[in-house]
Amino acid sequence: MLLKFKPISKEVVWGAGEFFNNNFDYELKPKIGELWILGSNNKLKGDLKLTLAEFAEKNPDILYGRGEKPKRFPVLIKYISTLKWLSVQVHPDDKFARAFENEPWGKTEMWYFLSEADNSQIICGLSREASREEIYNLINSNSLSSILNYITVKKDEWVLIRSGVVHSIGPNISLLEIQMNSDLTYRMYDWDRVGLDGKPRELHIDKALKVIDYSENLKLTKGFREVNLEFPTFTVETIRIPDYGKIELDTEKRGFHIILSVESDLTVNSEFLRKYECVLITASEGKYKLEGPKDSYIFLIRQREG
């Protein structure tokens, strides 16, 4: 089966709705900063009228085939567009999430940059070694920025944000985020601003200090256009459409695939897929065909076997 989903929009204090209004076929509020296009709570298009979570519960063998049948669908895909800095934050790893949050896993994510302005920047990790006590003191003295690793980013570059790595997205950036399906985020600093409700947004400093992986914060995994990454429960790669414009793939009944293009429209079997849309191919589908412009790159997300 090929499944498409209705997006879910998220209004946030740092959001810039213009990217979504320019690239999707409906109007959104000006403060929209995230558009979730595939995740547990997204509803299927068409007659089924189920969320992905409900479909997975009713049809685990169709969705996952011979693959592991997780308690929650493991992938969340969203677009992010910013007008201001996001909070400086960190995500927990699987061990912490299970022990203290009753969650099946923590959160590692990948950002693929779709647009940028002059000198667009993100924060990814620390610029030097620092102890938990030093970071705590820097937060309290409003000096955390002094040890953050600022990186200038360009269109079609990507970066991996591992659990335990301090990070943030700067203004005037639009990106694709592919992440483990978790919403565990611990804010360390939020630029002394208030939320949409007019109240200061909650910080989670104690938890953040516990989950920071101090060695990982000095590493950087990034690239340009071509992606080949392994997450605990799925893989993300880019595949180039060959000169004749067609390619055949196969789930082999081992797990789901997800196809997404940020470069051009595609056809997956007989299903038309607009640029920025995605389609979930259930494990039961087996072989399927892609057609698109030659030399264009598509994202292929595969379920990993348990």
CA–CA separation, 106 and 156 (whole Å): 26
- Is 274 tagged catalytic? no
HSE-CB for 114 with a 13 A CA cutoff: 19
CA–CA separation, 141 and 129 (whole Å): 18
Give the distance, in angstroms, between the CA of residue 58 and the centroid of all CA atoms in the same chain: 26
Token pair, residue 35, equals 């558009």
Nearest to 170 by CA among 225, 108, 117: 117
What does the angle CA 161 – CA 78 – CA 157 come to, to the nearest 5 degrees?
A: 50
CA–CA separation, 255 and 278 (whole Å): 17
Per DSSP bridges, beta strands 2-3 and 278-281 are antiparallel
Contact 104, 173 (CB under 8 A): no
Active-site residue (options: 72, 162, 187, 302): 187
Contact 110, 236 (CB under 8 A): yes
The structure tokens 């022990």 sit at 99
**Secondary structure (3-state) at 12:** coil
Which of the residues are catalytic? Answer: 187
